[in-house]
Chains A and B, each alone.
With several copies, the nearest count.
Chain A
Amino acid sequence: MLHMINKSPFESNSLEDCLRYASDGSPILLYEDGIYGALAGSALEARMKEIMANHDVYVLKADVALRGIEKLIDGVKEVDYSGFVGLVEENKAVSW
């Protein structure tokens, strides 16, 4: 499954909730306020790196640009809307 996360992990538990259910290897897409989970140098960076050991983590470029974020945690993959559609072609998707 593609797990879609759109809330800031500084404010919402939706990413951590999702991870209790997500199988290892299932991809995670951070979009809308979810992209703040990929902020380099944040208090959540160490936790995100743990997560990335078991999941490919993607961020939606349009939402990253909208919010002026330049430095993403190493290993986070950027996708545009076409790449977002590509992820949904390859995986069934749920929005948390």
Chain B
Amino acid sequence: MKFGILILEGPYQHEASDSAYNFAKAVIEKGHEISRVFFYQDGVLNATKLMDVQRDDRHIQERWTDLSKEHGIEYIVCVAAAKRRGIVDEVLAENFKIGGLGMLTDLAIEADRLVTFRA
């Protein structure tokens, strides 16, 4: 099955990104494909490489980057939502790409299941 994941909230402020990450790992472990993770609204804030996290806590951006490196998952950060929140190419972490909102429509068409993580 092809899964799509949509994340609407930023790191730390809400659990959405944590839940999405653990869900994504389980999707992969069950042998499914993740067509794309799409970061929209405050979700775009997960993509900054400037996050500097205390050692006793999880590093949300690095965790996402590592998951993509290991399994080749595509992460798209909505350009319109990113711009108004100050997420630009210069601060983008590895394996995140800025892309158009249309790539969310593409994902909704392509994925057998699109699962939203939100506030």
Contacts and interface: CB of A to CB of B under 8 A. Distances in A.
- Assess A/B contact in the complex (Cβ within 8 A): yes
Of A4, A81, A92, A94, chain B has the most CB atoms within 10 Å of the CB of A81
Q: Which of B23, B115, B116 has the most CB of A within 10 A?
A: B115
Contacts of A31: 19
Interface residues of B, number: 18
Interface residues of A, number: 19
B104 to A, nearest CB: 15
Which of A6, A62, A80, A93 has the most chain B CB within a 10 Å cutoff?
Answer: A6
B27 A85 contact: yes
Nearest to A91: B113
A19 interface: no
A8 to B, nearest CB: 12
A18 to B, nearest CB: 13
Interface of A: 4, 6, 31-33, 62-63, 80-82, 84-86, 88-89, 92-95
